[in-house]
A and B are shown apart, each in its own frame.
Chain A
């Protein structure tokens, strides 16, 4: 098996893998940032007093969660140009990943917020803190802190989902494996190398998760 494994070809493709590894990192980081932001906004809308905002966020969250990401990706990739909106592929890709994970983040953050005892929010109101100040200083730090594990779980899902971007010809890790496979007919080398790079990202996220959990000592309060 090992003799059959062609390391020379992998080395030859290493510069491509390096570039694609950075692309996956970068596309995922951008989408992750966007998704958390979208998640916070969608969650705030979902929990708001306004029926309209709450319904709108509900429809968004449900429709994302009930349809496959690939369908969403194609919807943006083929659908937006027919509406006259021309975006570079990578923007379309990041948009799809952001909106997809955003819906999941909205639900994760909501579970964190609903675990916060309402009395604290009342205490904030009673001391004159505004809605945004309560969100910023009381609710979100706790909701994010309590949900650090599911948040990172979703981040890992997002990184893996970014492989679908290869289907709209964005250069990223999975695309690198596809190239090696089609140019040299070496699917084992191609996709095992791809997998190894995903594993690196996974361990990076996991290390971050462990580090942040140690920092959030107040979690002992729960």
Chain B
């Protein structure tokens, strides 16, 4: 589904992605973790070319994303992206936030899009917040609208960049629950997060990054109980200590 082959990216002199090789199968759930600045966000932002790569091959759903000539609209429409800071459109209600892309990108009819929007917002537990504006919602609710916005495009892949790190602790659970349900329903997911509970429960693999490199790839239980590298051990002890 997603295939990184020898992918490299630089910001000026900074080598942010260094020889990345990674294959993600359909239906797989992969958690990406690592210290701040290690390149996790950049890694998943390359998948829908929010950031271009400079070297290597990146193939997503049989489309060559590394090819500058390729039109990204279709592939972006098939990938849901959830940001740390929600990034909802503040002038639109929850429903409008979820239906804008189906209406404009998928050219769906009004009634059809609205029905879909209501259905998906209900799925994330927001059936009573459909006509609320983002400013009238809590952080957890906003992030669930953002997930619904992605799901309304009936995506083949969902990408999450630290979806719970901007949330108050009491709201993390409601967002993770929605994500766990998605994972169990067979969605292909790549999730940047340090939520170990989530990783243990639904991830097939954990990818540990440091300084732009993939240092370790392992099933969650193996990685969290017995990391194979010094850097992995050090990282785990640092997130466990608080």
Query: Footprint of B on A, CB under 8 Å?
Result: 117, 119-120, 122-123, 125-130, 133, 137-138, 141-142, 145, 217-218, 220-222
The one of B81, B101, B135 that contacts A221, using a Cβ cutoff of 8 Å: B135
Q: Is there contact, CB below 8 Å, between A145 and B91?
A: yes
Q: How far is the CA of A130 from the CA of B85 in the complex (A)?
A: 22
Q: Is there contact, CB below 8 Å, between B76 and A128?
A: yes
Q: How far is the CA of A218 from the CA of B94 in the complex (A)?
A: 12
A-B contact count (CB 8 A): 75
Q: Is there contact, CB below 8 Å, between B87 and A119?
A: yes
Q: Is there contact, CB below 8 Å, between B50 and A125?
A: yes
Which residues of chain B (52-108) have a CB below 8 Å from chain A? 72-74, 76-77, 79-81, 83, 85-92, 100-101, 104-105
Complex interface: chain A residues within 8 A of B150 (CB): 127
Q: Report the minimal beta-carbon distance from A116 to chain B, rounded to whole angstroms.
A: 9
- Residue B48 interfacial (CB < 8 Å): yes
Q: Is there contact, CB below 8 Å, between B81 and A218?
A: no
- Chain A residue at minimal CB-CB distance from B79: A126
- Residue B232 interfacial (CB < 8 Å): no
Q: How far is the CA of A120 from the CA of B105 in the complex (A)?
A: 16
Q: Is there contact, CB below 8 Å, between B81 and A123?
A: yes
Complex interface: chain B residues within 8 A of A222 (CB): 90
* Sample of 29 A–B contacts (CB below 8 Å): A119-B83, A119-B85, A119-B86, A120-B88, A123-B89, A125-B50, A126-B48, A126-B76, A126-B79, A126-B81, A127-B77, A127-B81, A127-B101, A127-B105, A127-B149, A128-B73, A128-B77, A128-B101, A128-B105, A129-B100, A129-B105, A133-B105, A137-B104, A141-B91, A217-B133, A218-B92, A218-B133, A221-B134, A222-B90
Which residues of chain B (130-148) have a CB below 8 Å from chain A? 133-135, 146
Which residues of chain B (208-225) have a CB below 8 Å from chain A? none
Chain A contact surface mostly: helix
Complex interface: chain A residues within 8 A of B50 (CB): 122, 125-126
Query: Footprint of A on B, CB under 8 Å?
Result: 48, 50, 72-74, 76-77, 79-81, 83, 85-92, 100-101, 104-105, 133-135, 146, 149-150, 153
Complex interface: chain B residues within 8 A of A218 (CB): 90-92, 133, 135
Q: How far is the CA of A133 from the CA of B83 in the complex (A)?
A: 20
Q: Is there contact, CB below 8 Å, between A221 and B83?
A: no
Q: Is there contact, CB below 8 Å, between B135 and A120?
A: no
> With contacts A133-B104, A221-B90, A221-B135 known, is A127 near B83, CB below 8 A?
no
- The 7 A-B pairs of least Cβ separation, nearest first, read A128-B77, A119-B87, A221-B90, A221-B135, A127-B101, A126-B81, A123-B87
List 18 other contacts, CB 8 Å, given A120-B89, A142-B90: A122-B83, A123-B88, A123-B146, A126-B48, A127-B76, A128-B72, A128-B73, A128-B101, A129-B101, A137-B100, A137-B104, A142-B89, A145-B91, A218-B92, A218-B133, A218-B135, A221-B135, A222-B90
> With contacts A119-B85, A122-B83 known, is A129 near B104, CB below 8 A?
yes
Q: Is there contact, CB below 8 Å, between A128 and B149?
A: no
Q: How far is the CA of A141 from the CA of B88 in the complex (A)?
A: 14
Q: How far is the CA of A138 from the CA of B91 in the complex (A)?
A: 8
Q: Is there contact, CB below 8 Å, between A220 and B135?
A: yes
Complex interface: chain B residues within 8 A of A119 (CB): 83, 85-87
Q: Report the minimal beta-carbon distance from A121 to chain B, rounded to whole angstroms.
A: 9
Complex interface: chain A residues within 8 A of B85 (CB): 117, 119
Q: How far is the CA of A166 from the CA of B150 in the complex (A)?
A: 57
Q: Report the minimal beta-carbon distance from A202 to chain B, rounded to whole angstroms.
A: 28
Q: Which of A120, A217, A222 has the most CB of B within 10 A?
A: A120
- Chain A residue at minimal CB-CB distance from B100: A137
Q: How far is the CA of A141 from the CA of B87 in the complex (A)?
A: 16
- Chain B residue at minimal CB-CB distance from A125: B50
